[in-house]
Amino acid sequence: MSALPSVSAKSQPAAAGAYDVVVVGAGFAGMYMLHRLRRQGLSARVYEQGGDVGGTWYWNRYPGARCDVESMQYSYSFDDELQQQWDWSERYAPQPEILKYAQHVADRFDLRGDIQFETRVDRAEFDEIANTWSVTTSDGRTVTAQYVVLATGCLSNAKMPDIKGLGDFKGKVYHTGHWPHEEVDFTGLRVGVIGTGSSGIQSVPVIAEQASHLTVFQRTANFSIPARNAELTPGEREAFRANYPEIRRIAREEMRNGIVQEVPDRGALDDGENERRAKFESRWSKGGLTFMGVYNNLAFDKAAYDTAAGFVRDKIAEIVEDPQTAKLLQPNDHPIGSKRICIDTDFFATFNRPNVTLVDIKSDPIRQILPHAVRTSAREIEVDALVLATGFDAMTGSVAKIDIRGRNGQTLNQKWAEGPKTYLGLMSAGFPNLFIVTGPGSPSVLSNMIVSIEQHVEWITDCIAWMRDRDLAAIEAGRDAEDRWVAHVNEVAHSTLYPQANSWYMGANVPGKPQIFMPYIGGVGVYRQICNDVAAKGYEGFATTAAEPPQKRAAS
Ligand code: N01
């Protein structure tokens, strides 16, 4: 890559510690937000608890971590030179390469000067007279800002399992979502992996190659499709680059999940058994998330999803040599796709290795972690290291860690006690000038995250520009608009099979968390249009406050 000149200088606050915008998080959302704000001539301060940019890709360094959206699509589209010049090496980029890309973007746009690393935002309090936020960080400082943008990520609050004795374990314990920066070498060690979601499924085959013995503790079997990862050829890269404007437009406007792929015009039952099997077979050979796009009704129709689920279960039985292990690995308690489908490289085949054992902890639960072993109801399994692939307090977990106080001192946690409430996933009533990037109630985790991040960052920065043009001091989601949106998100979710699974989409993986389907499942194209229409109608459903005099408050 050629070194490019920076395009923006460090932003200057109007007064010491007074910014136009405070951004929380320097992952892909926070970085692009900072870039856009600077382009608008605004002063911004970004706080990031990690030691560098990258968010998810800074923390999730576990063996085998890679993206499940193709690299040529899982990348920023806002700068054509960037997308034309960056060379992705593989169909699905590995974590180190995605992190390198994030670091490159930070260098290229000279972002780091406005980012304070290793600093958490602990508290944010809205001043109803000044219409500003007062933001306190983990270094004990307090700054003010007219706007706060939560770019905290949807899967950034790693969830430790509540297992008796975990603290007594004498070996090393790793969480996939909080992996150490130095290399972890499992050579010669007996390793236990707890959890078989995407992180477990990606890491198990790689750990199995190093460990003397690997025990996989599985509570729920998961559907997984082979990634068929491969190096990208120059021709493949060129095909994307030549058509990028159109590919990006289709991803944004026409696709449900922000990933360009063939759109099926048939349901699974429109084909006879042989034809259907041939189509599943062809998608299985192609690999990746497009498996679920082979028919248009797999998420809606039980008879249709049964055909896809049956196909995957048959594949597992073909791959896994021991019939008992194969049976345990076959998911049977949720519709395929209702939990995030996993993409793997040799996950099922790994159980054919002599050094790998599967323990079904549904029938034989973990009772306790001992200093050198995991004790289940039936046995004791000695391990030297433990890998917790136990997931995240998703979508709301990182927001909940911040003490956010809006109008009348109400905290966001109080307001969201029964589940997150937002208008468009962007703002929550009672919390003026507080924006959320890819918040609950927006397509977020059901989409190509970068497509959704770019849409939100652009919508939010356009909204701030609109406010400034009109000399407005505050904007806030209206309660009626919010109630209607929450009801709509819920209604759309319940027209699908998604709510039938105990998934993190529902908050079901965190004891005590309200069970509400959090992302908006209506599709990114539809959602973008709704957001654009709201903006075009003068931010319909939002209330604004004039800067001066205060009595000129107008409700839109
Ligand atoms: O987490 P998960 P993840 N005792 O919640 C089990 C994204 N991602 O980190 O299903 C025993 O999916 C739990 O069991 P169960 C992607 O969106 C993407 O794997 O609750 N087991 C489950 O098996 C993904 O969906 C990529 O019964 C316990 C596992 O731990 C999301 O992140 C890669 C337990 C957790 O699975 C989260 O994935 C990685 C306990 N106490 C992640 N608690 C890409 O490819 C939990 N489990 C881009």
CATH code where residue 378 lies: 3.50.50.60
Atom of ligand 1 nearest to the CA of 508: 20
Domain identity same for 153 and 182 = no
208 alpha carbon – ligand 1 mean position (Å): 19
Considering only CA atoms, which residue is closest to atom 18 of ligand 1? 198
Atom of ligand 1 nearest to the CA of 202: 33
Domain identity same for 383 and 482 = no
Domain identity same for 453 and 541 = yes
Task: Name the amino acid, one letter, at 550.
Answer: P
Domain identity same for 302 and 420 = no
2 domain-assigned: no
Best residue among 98, 198, 203 to mutate for probing ligand 1's pocket (most ligand atoms within 8 Å of CB) is 198
**Tens digits of per-residue pLDDT, 271-302?**
999 999 999 999 999 999 889 999 999 988 99
Q: Model confidence at 554, in pLDDT bands (50, 70, 90)?
A: very low
Domain identity same for 163 and 149 = no
The CA distances from residue 521 to 210, 299, 307, in Å, are 40, 11, 22
322 alpha carbon – ligand 1 mean position (Å): 25
| Cα–Cα distance measured from residue 382 to residue 322, given in angstroms and rounded to the nearest whole number | 23
Helix, strand, coil share of the chain (percent; to 5)? 35, 20, 45
Percent of the chain with pLDDT over 90: 90
Contacts of 289 (CB under 8 A, 6+ apart): 68, 69, 225, 257, 259, 261, 341, 343
Domain identity same for 369 and 401 = no
What is the token pair recorded at 47?
Answer: 């706080």
Cα 329 from chain centroid?
25
Considering only CA atoms, which residue is closest to atom 20 of ligand 1? 509
Domain identity same for 206 and 350 = yes
Percent of the chain with pLDDT over 70: 97
- Quick check: 7 pLDDT over 70? no
| Cα–Cα distance measured from residue 460 to residue 439, given in angstroms and rounded to the nearest whole number | 12
User: Residue 139 is part of which domain span?
Assistant: 18-157+394-555
What's the mean pLDDT in 513-538? 96
Q: Rounded mean pLDDT of the chain?
A: 94
296 domain-assigned: yes
Domain identity same for 152 and 178 = no
Q: Model confidence at 13, in pLDDT bands (50, 70, 90)?
A: confident
Q: Model confidence at 549, in pLDDT bands (50, 70, 90)?
A: low
pLDDT at 1: 34
What's the mean pLDDT in 448-473? 97
- Quick check: 260 pLDDT over 80? yes
| Rg of the chain (C-alpha set) | 24
Considering only CA atoms, which residue is closest to atom 43 of ligand 1? 390
337 alpha carbon – ligand 1 mean position (Å): 14
- HEC per residue, 430-485: CCCCEEECCCECECHHHCCHHHHHHHHHHHHHHHHHHHHHCCEEEEEECHHHHHHH
Q: Model confidence at 93, in pLDDT bands (50, 70, 90)?
A: very high
241 domain-assigned: no
Domain identity same for 269 and 200 = no
Domain identity same for 386 and 410 = no
Residue in 256, 241, 287 with CA at minimum distance from that of residue 75? 241
Residue in 545, 440, 459 with CA at minimum distance from that of residue 132? 545
371 domain-assigned: yes
Number of domains into which the chain is organized: 3
326 domain-assigned: no
pLDDT at 3: 33
The CA distances from residue 149 to 12, 44, 404, 427, 433, in Å, are 18, 10, 12, 10, 8
Residue with tokens 């989601």: 477
198 alpha carbon – ligand 1 mean position (Å): 6
What's the mean pLDDT in 180-191? 96
pLDDT at 12: 78
- Quick check: 4 pLDDT over 60? no
Domain identity same for 39 and 92 = yes
